[in-house]
Amino acid sequence: MTSCPSSAGCSGQSPSRVNEQLARKAAQHPCYSVSGHHRFARMHLAVAPACNLQCNYCNRKYDCSNESRPGVVSELLLPGQAVAKARQVAAAIPQLSVVGIAGPGDPLANIGRTFQTLELLRQQLPDLKLCLSTNGLMLPDVVDRLVDIGVDHVTVTMNALDPAVAEKIYAWLWYEGERYTGRMAADLLIERQAEGIRKLIEKGVLVKINSVLIPGINDQHMQAVSQQAGEWGAFLHNIMPLISRPEHGTVFGLNGQAEPDADMVASVRKSCGMSMPQMTHCHQCRADAIGMLGEDRNAAFPLASVPVNPPPYLPVLHQRAQLHASIVSQGGSEEADACLVAVATSQGQAVDQHFGHADRFTLYSLSAAGVMQVGQRFTPRYCRSPDDCEPEDAAQNMDALLELLADVKAVFCARIGLTPWKRLEAAGIEPQVDGAWQPVETAAWRNGGSNESWPGGEMSIRGVA
């Protein structure tokens, strides 16, 4: 990449180190990671029916089970139904690592439904990654809300930077109560997309750019899109072939617009690869896809099968964490001897947060494979503020923290008060502050890797000696 997110800590670090950190952040998102797409599963929640942009390649369908393409779903879900279904899938598919909202319309044209779903997911499934896919029109207005709720992967569909190209792709857009067409619509969309992408990257969010490759319209323009996306600091560019079969009822399908052949797709990806990394494992999933990339198990989880009273999620959470640690540590094996530690870290680089101020802990696996990041847990804050670290609900918050971290052997943080220190020890979790302000890997090895009481401890430190 030609640039990197300022909040990713690029200053004073080599590009290889920054890229390593970003790759680790993306490792369990099957759409962002080549190595992760055959080891981890994703789930798309169809809660966003409306769209504020009419693309000539799109025709949304809300009750279709026999087409496999973006914009198509079998069932529309309300936020509560979507989260109940996500809990069911997380229990049935422990490899599930990401829940996203990708339609069938645009999530940010359905802001109320989208954010209600994200908030419920964060409350009830605190270990899952959250992501969404958007056309970017409303993105600048909600970047802070997305970051606050823990969305750390966002896909933006950007098909052109040149308004003359864009106006051939979009029929109209709807913005602040006004309908725009032609050049005005193209100018507005491109401006808003660019602003939203830059804001996300400044906040440390991984951004993937999706582009639909349309022969004769934007095929000669893709390299400019890829170059600009790389300069902004986007993580990945996914160039997808146009789907324009007449039976789908899209404008391009009905007017005979040709689809690109495999040679064109490969050639464009190769030329764009000079500017930034290209995604080559995309399957152009439906907006309700479930499972590994290349499979769709949505039909196995109809809404009618979702339990009215779902079982407790904590046992599922702990089971999934151990499986993910084993998969990450041993490259796919489910039999690795790995233990989990939780780290209070702001950016995943250093042990730099006070225990009581953290609203999320990053989990790492310690094994012969080294110190490997395996996920996050969103937790209630023990302290309300630096001046109020023993609030009335501190004990209640600590109880919830202990339940969420019950499967970890240690908690690494920059500082911790005496009361939570004793509560952790009583629960069999070792508080660690000796590694404060050190890189996470260094702190974990020096203060945990040689601890023979932890599974894999002595083996782990020898494994990297």
DSSP annotation string for 22-59: HHHHHTT-TTT-TTTTTT-EEEE---B---SEEETT--
Whether 288 and 387 share a structural domain: no
**pLDDT tens by residue, 65-75:** 433 445 566 78
Whether 203 and 335 share a structural domain: no
Whether 47 and 134 share a structural domain: yes
Question: Per the structure, how many domains does the chain have?
Answer: 2
Whether 284 and 407 share a structural domain: no
Give me the helix-helix angle, 394-404 and 314-329, nearest 10°: 50
Residue 453 lies in a domain: no
CA distance 361 to 118: 19
Residue 10 lies in a domain: no
CA distance 307 to 288: 19
Whether 214 and 181 share a structural domain: yes
Domain around 51: 17-295
Which CATH number covers residue 335? 3.30.420.130
What is the model's pLDDT at position 28? 57
Name the token pair of 463: 């494994």
| Residue at which a domain ends, from 295, 327, 345 | 295
Nearest Cα neighbor of 464 from 449, 452, 447 is 449
Whether 271 and 344 share a structural domain: no
Residue 4 lies in a domain: no
Whether 261 and 395 share a structural domain: no
Residue 300 lies in a domain: no
Whether 230 and 260 share a structural domain: yes
Whether 291 and 318 share a structural domain: no
Residue 392: CB atoms within 10 Å: 8
Radius of gyration of the chain, Cα coordinates, nearest whole angstrom: 23
What is the model's pLDDT at position 20? 61
Which sign, positive or negative, has the C-alpha torsion 435, 439, 443, 446? negative
| Residue at which a domain ends, from 266, 295, 324 | 295
Instruction: Find all residues with CB under 8 Å of 25, minimum gap 6, and list them.
Output: 152, 206, 348, 373
Torsion angle of the four alpha carbons 307, 308, 314, 320, in this order, in degrees rounded to the nearest 10? 20
Q: Do the beta carbons of residue 18 and residue 10 sit within 8 Å?
A: yes
Whether 45 and 178 share a structural domain: yes
What is the model's pLDDT at position 447? 64
What is the model's pLDDT at position 319? 86
What is the model's pLDDT at position 220? 93
What is the model's pLDDT at position 282? 55
Below-70 pLDDT ranges, the chain: 1-39, 60-73, 280-285, 293-294, 329-337, 384-392, 447-465
Q: Do the beta carbons of residue 355 and residue 416 sit within 8 Å?
A: yes
Q: Residue 401 burial by CB count (10 A; 0-12/13-18/19+): exposed, middle or buried?
A: buried
Which CATH number covers residue 206? 3.20.20.70
Whether 124 and 56 share a structural domain: yes
Whether 327 and 262 share a structural domain: no
CA distance 54 to 56: 6
What is the model's pLDDT at position 11? 31
Burial 216-230 (b: 16+ CB within 10 A, else e): ebbbebbebbbbbbb
Q: Do the beta carbons of residue 29 and residue 153 sit within 8 Å?
A: yes
